[in-house]
Structure 1
Amino acid sequence: MKRTHCPICGGDSVELAFPHPARSMLSDGRILQRSLAKASCLSCGAAYHASGISGDEVRAIYDDEYALARWSPKSDAQRARTYRNWIRTESAAPQNILEVGCGSGALLSELLETWPEASGFGLDPALPEAARSGGKIRLMRGFVEQIPQDGRRFDLIIAINVIEHTAAPEMFLKALRAHLAPDGQIVIICPAAHPPNLELLFFDHLYSLTSVALREASTAASLAISKQTAAPRDIGDFQMIILKPSPSAPIVSLATSPASLHAARHDYLDRWARLDQTLLDRVAPGSRLLVFGGGQTAALLRTYAPKTWSLAETIAVDDPSEAWTLGPAVVPYQDVRPRSGSTILIATSPHVQSAIAERLSRDGLRPITWNDLIPC
């Protein structure tokens, strides 16, 4: 395996398996005709693009076509409420809130309902057209370096699912620190690095950050991790770190050795490389497939299991308004329930496939799951 040097800590790294030899996917579902070549550091445990991604390449991803914040408005609102509940348990009432990567602005709205005395400023490079400033919330399209240099300082800075998209995490944290009030805190929420999970498959997830990698990046930005915690179960495979201005930081150790983490990631991506054939073996020859689920996981199947996806003729979901545009026609699930005996591929997170399979089986359908091959 080819070795590279980690951009976080400088340690030796080893390349990971390709989930597909010639294609990959952005987090909003767009397919790239470019393989996903990532490496895993044997020192800090970070995973990253082995070939490197420039700042200009990162900016090009978040053009007018980037649609993640527009795909599922009801789910977006629910996520905002869930994140609000998590954040308010870890933060005192702020006066000025900055959210970098604010999406639609839904979370800022929720936070200002919780803290009505506060004001909020949101920044996102792919700010949806429908997102509007109003009241005590100001929204702006742009990247972190475009935050106005007007001397304003924020006592709460939030970045949810952003740091993993940045070309240089330590520079991103330095930029946030420049806008932090002396007694303020930065709340970073990002995917958990272990065990390997779906986030490893997104091309625009430039990093998967362990506790040690986050410490390295934070220390380089003159920030200290005051708290690190795993997400509540209803949020999923995510982690929160709370940062405060400080030149010193506590020693952090990895729960899993970097070598073991590399092996787990390599195995995980190799399982994705085998998924297409595994699913084809589970489909009767000549079958046309129903698919249950029309979100990000379904988009991953379209990308990394293209032969199986080519058999899909209909996507069934409980709420068609939440479905992504993935090719096959989208219908309400209640419309396919009468098709007793039909084969239906479950295209949801592996965590919930068993429960969904029970539901579909009760309705007389024949579900195909794949959480035995890829459990998370």
Structure 2
Amino acid sequence: MKLINEKNILKIVHENPGIYRKLIAEKTNLSSQTVTNLVTELVERRVLLEYAPSLGIKGRNPVSLSVNYSGFYMITADINIGRVAVYVNALDETVIASEERPVGQKTDVLDVLKEMIGRVLERAGTVRTILACAISVTGVVNEDKGIVVEAGKLNWYNLDLAGELSYLGVPVLVRNDANMFAYYEKSQFPADLNFMIAKIDVGIGSAFVLGGRVLESTNNVAGELGHVTAMAQGAERPCVCGKTNCLTKFISLEALEADYGKPYGELVEEVRRKEPKAVALIEDVCAYLAPILANVIILLDLDRIILCGCTVEYFESIIYPCLDRKIRKLLSYWVSFKRLEIRTNVKITAISSRFLLDYYFSTESDIRL
């Protein structure tokens, strides 16, 4: 019961920074003495910090409380096609040590990951207590078990990644990259109950927050946006999934290179120079995406769609106005869709920190601050 009450107090302080003891007692229905005792212990353990704000009133001001995010640390690993990055960071997103490395299809990514974690931990120093390891992976993930079901370009199939890293002695939380990003967005905009993350990158993926919760599914494949059938003319394009004309065959990095006949980097440069053929190809991306996203908005009553990924970052000036215009033309008049948004340069340590805090407060985990 003490641990439950302690977590409830921490959650209230997390959601209401600057709150003081009396209000905590009111919100938790705990006695003032119980709150005082628990808060005192949390302050002594440096989990909570006290400060006295100047309220401009006579008499003694109440002592405010905040969570000491800078005093707790985690391992963050970001595993993408072509790149692995590992960090030791505080829950306030401060990076203590980091390492980044390119990887190819012939690279043993698991061995590389373990080596990088070891070096980063060594540089971070043993004085720092690690709460957990959070891993963002491009691929299909059984998030309950920490198993990467399929990440073909990494040569990972049914890889028990949590088991492989159990030697770390801390909880290992493995998440699909779009899903982990959804936890970050959820923390930023708690009032928006329904929204979608759409990642347009080397591959195509998505995640959903519905009713304020990140969507989960029995088979761990909710959000496979890349394998929705695109409305396309011309010859059918077979996909490795067994279908034809999957969205990924038209707007993924590989598909854009094939359609343009040049490397992706040259496409980026020629779009910057406003070459008509290059600009038209990016406008085609919007034409493929718009009807799919409009249908999802209508079906799920989404407040927002957030776009991310390298294609969105490089071609934001074309994609945002073009896609927003095309989507809104396809929506019913009664749909209350608020906005299309683009996220660029969001740090993975910010994403992982918000994810871990959400996990801590929303589950019966064995993590203890």
Verify same fold: TM over 0.5: no
What TM-score do the two structures reach when normalised by structure 1? Answer: 0.28
Hey, which of these two has a bigger chunk of helix by percent? 2
What TM-score do the two structures reach when normalised by structure 2? Answer: 0.28
Task: Give the greater-gyration-radius structure (CA).
Answer: 2
